[in-house]
Each structure stands twice: as structure tokens, then as C-alpha cells.
Structure 1
Amino acid sequence: MRASTDRILTTQAGSLPRPDELIELNRSRAEGTIDEQRYQRGADKAVTELVERERNVGLDFVGDGEFGKSMSQRVDYGAWWSYSFQRLGGLELADASLFELTHDASRSGEEVVLTSFGNRRDRVRFAEAYADPSAGVDVSTSPMSFPVCRGPLKYVGHEAINADIARFKRALDANGLDEGFMTSIAPASCSRIGNEYYDSQEEFLYACADAMREEYKAIIDAGLILQLDDPAIAENWDQINPEPSVEDYRRFTMRRVEALNHAIRGLPKDRIRFHLCWGSWHGPHTTDLPMRDLVDILLSIDVRAYSFEAGNVRHEHEWKIWQDVALPDDKLLLPGVVSHATNVIEHPELVADRIVRFAECVGRERVVASTDCGLGGRVHPQLAWAKLEALAQGAELASRRLWP
């Protein structure tokens, strides 16, 4: 992955708004009312047009928008995760809602155990707001069934990932580009489902790592950049109730980082980037763990670049930690400088200010401007593209300041 050698380069964090036509194709495909060829033609068209729009808006590192991760409605916070349910053998759907999922403490063997999504401490603290549709927070209590592991895990998504890769490479070729990235779920997030097969959470975690490694290799072997999505590294903190000690949580999290490093062992780290966030749902986020408690864990992940939230109002101030943290020479930062968490479009001057702060901390060559999280399924498409325009404009302004 290239560094910003003569100007600030730009990218985005993965998910981009799906066009209505693709959402309808996904819905029809799930219902079995269209043939596969029609779906593939529509998906090809959508990704090719997306890459053209990313290029035209000024992004240097483009992605496929996660269009291969099905969404059947515009607002969807979980497609980055739920796509893996169809790509892993050994899973069965449970009867209960995702919001009722309680992890089996007897199989954990750890100091802390994840609670259900509905019992997150942020949701408990602001229960009235989360229950009120007029409050403007994420009020989803989706009845979607969640999977439980009831057999040996194995990767069965070869046909799907190969189709995603081929589609994206055709889109890159059609737009005269030779570099792009694709996202894949990391083991810690992948393993946040029920386990009734493996004797311990650690065994299950490493089974996820070994299975998903096949998807990681497929993306890299195709000549693309791999982005590993793992909100669980930070977000799990809020999903442990009562609140654990920071020391216990750090031990809990390092086991998941070790599993991730196991999954990418031997793969070219200069072709891998990692995305960390505190959960993209629209809520107060007062129970987010500070970045200062995570930064050394983040840097222990053996990749080239680190993408993280840095533009929303809960985490923008944390740029200051990079004044004290020594970023290894071969690493890049991809801070979010426009946010999924607000409908307000960031002013390009503010975007430039945010970029310059990071550049002054770690060096201009090691900053690539990005988004906090994926914008698809989180803000209206028209607003998402306006934010990407502000990102590119802000990067241009920052480049003038940093390369006078």
C-alpha cells in the first residue's frame, strides 16, 4: 500500500451506499425470484459505476463498496458481519433474536464474557432514548435470527469471494485502475456468535481464524489489498456487562489479536490494512473505551496500515495520543476525517485541519485520509457522497499546507 509521498492520499473505510437497484436485486435473490445471471449482470454494473464514482470524487484507494455483502434495505449496520454467516460451514440458525444472544460462560474460560447486543451498557444507560424512534439514535432491535456453531467450522464461500473479486477487478480494469482493496471480517468479530461445538472460546476463535484465512488469501492472491474489519477489538468493551477492569479487557482482547496474527501469518503485511471502530450504530457511545487503552494493542496487529475513527465527536480529541505514541517506520495511519455519525457535511477546512494534526504527529508521508467507518447503510447516499467530496477537498487543502 502506497504512502503519501507528495500529497495526502485518500481512501474510505469499506461500505458505500448501495444503489436502489442493487438492494432490490439482493431482495429478489434472497426470495429466489430472479435468476443468477440477472443478479450478476446487475451487480457487475453497480460495482463498475461505483468505482468510476470513487475515482471521479478523488479517492486514491478505491474499494468495491462491500457490494457483495448483501443488503436488502438502505439502513443496515451489520452487512459487514452477517455476510460471513453464508461463508462458513458448521453454522445453524438459532431461534432467538440477535439481541437475545448470551454467550455461554461455561465455554469461555476467560475473565470476562460478552453479553447480548441488547444488554450493551450504552443501551442500558440510555434505554429511553434507544426505545424512542423520535430520538434519532439507532433503535433497531432486529428479530433476525443469529447463527450458532454446531459443527466443525470450514470456509465454504469460495464461489462467492471469487465472484466478488472477479467483479471488482473488472470494475478496476474498466476504470483504468490497477489497485483496490476489499474487506473481510476478522476472527474476533467473526466469533461473536453462539458456540455449541468447540470446548472453549479460544478453540472456536482459532477455528474462525483458520477458516477465514482462506478468504484473506483469496483477496491477496488476486493482487488486491486486504482490509480486515474488526470492530470487536474496541466495541466488545461495551458488550461486557458489568464493566470489566481495563487490564482484564486488554488480556481478553490480546487473545483475539493473537488469533488474527495467526490467521495472516506469512501473508504480505504491506498488502494488509486493519479497521478498528467502536461500532457504527448511531448512539451516545459514552461507554466507548478510550483509544489510549487500545493503541499498543492496535499496533501489535501485524499489518501495514491502521484505519480508525477520528472524526466523530466521541473520538476526535484522541488524535493527541499520537504525540506520545511512536508509530513504527513501516506503518501508515488511515484516520477517519469525515464521519458516518452525523448528517452534517464536514467543511473541507476542518477536514484539512484534522489531517494536518495527524501529519504533524507521525509525518505527512504516513497519513492517508479516510472515513470513520463505512458510509453505506449509515447515512443517506447523497450525504455520503458529499462527505467523500469534502474528504478529497480537505486532503487537497492539507497537501498545500504540508507540501508548500
Structure 2
Amino acid sequence: MRSSTDRILTTQAGSLPRPDALIELNRSRAEGGIDEQQFHSGVNQAVTELVGRQRSAGVDLVGDGEFGKSVSQRVDYGAWWSYSFQRLGGLELADAPLFETTHEGARATEEVALTSFGNRRDRVGFAEAYADPTSGVEVSTSPMNFPVCRGPLTYVGHEAINADIARFKRALEANGLEEGFMTAIAPASCSRIDNEYYDSQEEFLYACAEAMREEYKAIIDAGLILQLDDPAIAENWDQINPEPSVADYKRFTMRRVEALNHAIRDLPKDRIRFHLCWGSWHGPHTTDLPMRDLVDLLLSIDVRAYSFEAGNVRHEHEWKVWQDVTLPDDKLIMPGVVSHATNVVEHPELVADRIVRFAECVGRERVVASTDCGLGGRVHPQLAWAKLEALASGAELATERLWP
């Protein structure tokens, strides 16, 4: 994975806004209105244009925008996760709400257990705001049918991931680029569905790790950078009601970190980056666990670079954590310095300020400026691209300050 000794590089966290034509392609495919050749031709063109647009906006380390992960409307918070439902064998759609069908004993080894999304502590605490369509609190309006594991997990997404890889590599070549990253869901987030087959949650977790490892290997074997998306490492905290002790939560989460490290065993760590966030929906996040309580777990994940939220108003102050943390010599950080959480486009001077703070903590060569989370499905496309341009401009200003 590229780093720089003479300037601040830029990247983004994965999801980028899908063009309306691509959303319509996904809808038509689901309804049987187009054949597979038409679909793939349209997605190929969209990804090639996307890579070129990232380059024009000033993004150095580009991604495929998660365009192979289907969405049917502009506002969609779940495609980064729900795509895995079609790539894993052993899952069946269920009629019951999430986490109401888990069979007896499946969570017997857990000190704490996840509740449904509707019973998150922030959702309960701000129920009036969530119920008011004029409040500005926004969640995805697209229905999501959650599956249940009712058989041995297997990876069945080879055709889909190979198509994603092939189109992205063509797009990189067409735009004169050699390096790009693709995202894949990590085991902790992948396993946040009901399990009726495995005898324990830990057994199910490791089954997810083994199955998804095939996707991780495919991306790396193709010469691309792998980004592991795992909001569950931080976000699960709010999805445990009542609130657990920090010690119990860290034990609960460390098992998920260990499963992830198991999944990427023997893979080249210098080609892997990890993304952590506290959930990307537009709503209150007053229950978020502080970064200070998570940073040791984050750094125990055996990868090259760490992406995390640092630009939104709930977490911007946490740059101070890195004053007290020793970042291992071979690691990079990719803090979010523009945010999905606001429609305000950040001023480049503010972006530069944020970058410089981190550089002064861990070293200028070890910071890659990024976005808080994926911008696709979270802010209007016009705003998303304006934010990426502000990111690039801010990185230039930070470079002038850090390499005078």
C-alpha cells in the first residue's frame, strides 16, 4: 500500500454515490428487465468513469466505490453489509425480526448479546426524533430482509467477486493507475445475523471468517488492496441494551478481532487496510464508545493501515488519543477529515488543520487523509464530490505546512 515521504496522500472510505443510471440498472436486473451482459456492460462503464472522477478530484488511493454492491435508491446505509447475504451459502431469508430466531445455546459463550436495531440505546433515547420525519434524523428507507444461518456457511460469491475485480482492474488501467482498493465485510459485522445452525456464536463467527477469507484472498491475489469494513467493532456498543461494562465489551470484541486476524492469516498485511466507524446513519450518537477505549483493540488488528471517523462532531476531538498512543513503525492511519455526517462542505483550511494534528502525533509520513465513512448513500452526490475536492485541497495545504 502506497505511502509518501514528501506529501499527504488522500483516499476515501469505500462507498461513493451511485449514478442514477447505475441504480436503475440494479433495479432492472432485480426485476428481470435486462440480461447479465447489459448489466455488466453498464457497471463496467460506471466504474471506469468513477475511477477517472476520483483522480480528477484529487484522490490518490482510489476505490471502486462499491459499485458491485447493489443499491436500489440513493439513500442506502446497508449495501456494504447486505451484499454478503448473496455471497454466502447456508443462509435463508426469515420472516422474524433480526435476533429473534437464534436457537437456544447459540450465544451461551457471550457475556453480552446484541439487540435488534430498533432497540439500540440511541434509538430508544431519541425515539421522538427518530419518529419525526421532519427532525433531520435519517435512516435508510429501503427495506432489508435479514437472513438466518440454517446450514454450514460456504462462500458462493466467486462469480460476483471476480466480476468486481475484473471491472476495477480495467478501470484502473484505463485511467493509468496501478493501485486501487476494494472493500469486503469483516467477520464481526458479517456475523450480525441470526444463527440457527452453529452451537455457539463463536463457532458461527469463525465460520464467517473462513467463508469470507475466500473473498479477501481473491482481492489480494488480483494485485489489489483489501479494505476490511467492520463497524461492528465500535458500533456494537450501542446495540447492546442495557449498556455493558467496558471490560465485558472489550472481551466480547477481542474475540471478533481474533476471528478477523484468523481470517487474514498468512495474507500480506502490507496490502490490507481496516475501516472502523460508529455507524453511518444521520442521527444522534451520544452512546458511542470513546476511541480511547477502542484504540488498543484497533491496533491489535494485524493490517497495514487503519481508517476511522475523525471529522464528525462526535469524534473530532479524539485526535488527542494519538498523543498518548504509540503507533507501530510499520503502520499508517487514515483519519476521516471530511465527514458523511453533515451536508456542510468542509473548508480546506479546516481539513488541513485536522490533518496536521494527526501528523504532529504520529508523523507526517504516516498519515493518509480520508473520509469518515463511505459517502455513497449518505450525502447528495454533488456534496460528496465537493467534499472529496475539499479533502484534496486540504491535503495540499497540510503538505505546505508539514514540508515547508
Specify the TM-score bucket, using the shorter chain as the normaliser: over 0.9
State how far apart, in whole Å, the 2-side matches of 1:345 and 1:85 are.
34
8 A contact 1:97–1:142 mirrored in 2:
no
SS in structure 2 at match of 1:107 = coil
The Cα of 1:2 is off from its aligned counterpart by 1.6
Which residue number in structure 2 is paired with residue 222 of structure 1? 222
1:37 lines up with 2:34 in the alignment = no
- Counterpart residue identity of residue 205, structure 2: L
8 A contact 2:66–2:182 mirrored in 1:
yes
The Cα of 1:309 is off from its aligned counterpart by 0.1
Which residue number in structure 2 is paired with residue 379 of structure 1? 379
State how far apart, in whole Å, the 2-side matches of 1:12 and 1:328 are.
23
State how far apart, in whole Å, the 1-side matches of 2:274 and 2:303 are.
7
The Cα of 1:96 is off from its aligned counterpart by 2.9
The Cα of 1:142 is off from its aligned counterpart by 5.3
8 A contact 2:77–2:140 mirrored in 1:
no
Correspondence 1:230-379 to 2 at 5 A: 230-379=230-379
State how far apart, in whole Å, the 2-side matches of 1:286 and 1:102 are.
29
State how far apart, in whole Å, the 2-side matches of 1:5 and 1:103 are.
51
State how far apart, in whole Å, the 2-side matches of 1:102 and 1:68 are.
30
Correspondence 1:155-234 to 2 at 5 A: 155-234=155-234
Which residue number in structure 1 is paired with residue 5 of structure 2? 5
The Cα of 1:106 is off from its aligned counterpart by 2.9
The Cα of 1:300 is off from its aligned counterpart by 0.2
Correspondence 1:78-157 to 2 at 5 A: 78-98=78-98, 101=100, 106-108=105-107, 109-140=109-140, 143-157=143-157
State how far apart, in whole Å, the 2-side matches of 1:148 and 1:140 are.
21
- Counterpart residue identity of residue 256, structure 1: R
Q: 1:141 to 1:198 in 2, by over 3 A?
A: farther
State how far apart, in whole Å, the 2-side matches of 1:97 and 1:245 are.
26
The TM-score with structure 1 as length reference comes to 0.98
8 A contact 2:101–2:196 mirrored in 1:
no
State how far apart, in whole Å, the 2-side matches of 1:204 and 1:293 are.
26
8 A contact 2:93–2:148 mirrored in 1:
yes
SS in structure 2 at match of 1:176 = coil
The Cα of 1:33 is off from its aligned counterpart by 1.1
The Cα of 1:105 is off from its aligned counterpart by 6.6
SS in structure 2 at match of 1:145 = coil
* Moved beyond 4 Å, runs of 4+: 100-105, 139-143
- Counterpart residue identity of residue 20, structure 2: D
Which residue number in structure 2 is paired with residue 24 of structure 1? 24
State how far apart, in whole Å, the 1-side matches of 2:278 and 2:336 are.
13
- Counterpart residue identity of residue 162, structure 1: N
8 A contact 2:186–2:229 mirrored in 1:
yes
**1:105-141, CA deviations, whole angstroms, 9 ceiling, x for partnerless residues?**
7311210000001100000000000011101112447
8 A contact 1:132–1:139 mirrored in 2:
no
The TM-score with structure 2 as length reference comes to 0.98
Q: 1:394 to 1:103 in 2, by over 3 A?
A: farther
**1:40-59, CA deviations, whole angstroms, 9 ceiling, x for partnerless residues?**
11001100000000011111
Q: Structure 1: where are the runs of 5+ without partners? A: none
State how far apart, in whole Å, the 2-side matches of 1:204 and 1:33 are.
37
The Cα of 1:167 is off from its aligned counterpart by 0.2
Q: 1:133 to 1:103 in 2, by over 3 A?
A: farther
8 A contact 1:101–1:117 mirrored in 2:
no
State how far apart, in whole Å, the 1-side matches of 2:110 and 2:144 are.
28
The Cα of 1:290 is off from its aligned counterpart by 0.3
SS in structure 1 at match of 2:176 = coil
Which residue number in structure 2 is paired with residue 61 of structure 1? 61
**1:160-188, CA deviations, whole angstroms, 9 ceiling, x for partnerless residues?**
00000000000000000010000000000
The Cα of 1:327 is off from its aligned counterpart by 0.3
State how far apart, in whole Å, the 2-side matches of 1:366 and 1:16 are.
25
**1:328-385, CA deviations, whole angstroms, 9 ceiling, x for partnerless residues?**
0000000000000000000000000000000000000000000000000000000000
State how far apart, in whole Å, the 2-side matches of 1:103 and 1:308 are.
31
8 A contact 1:133–1:139 mirrored in 2:
no
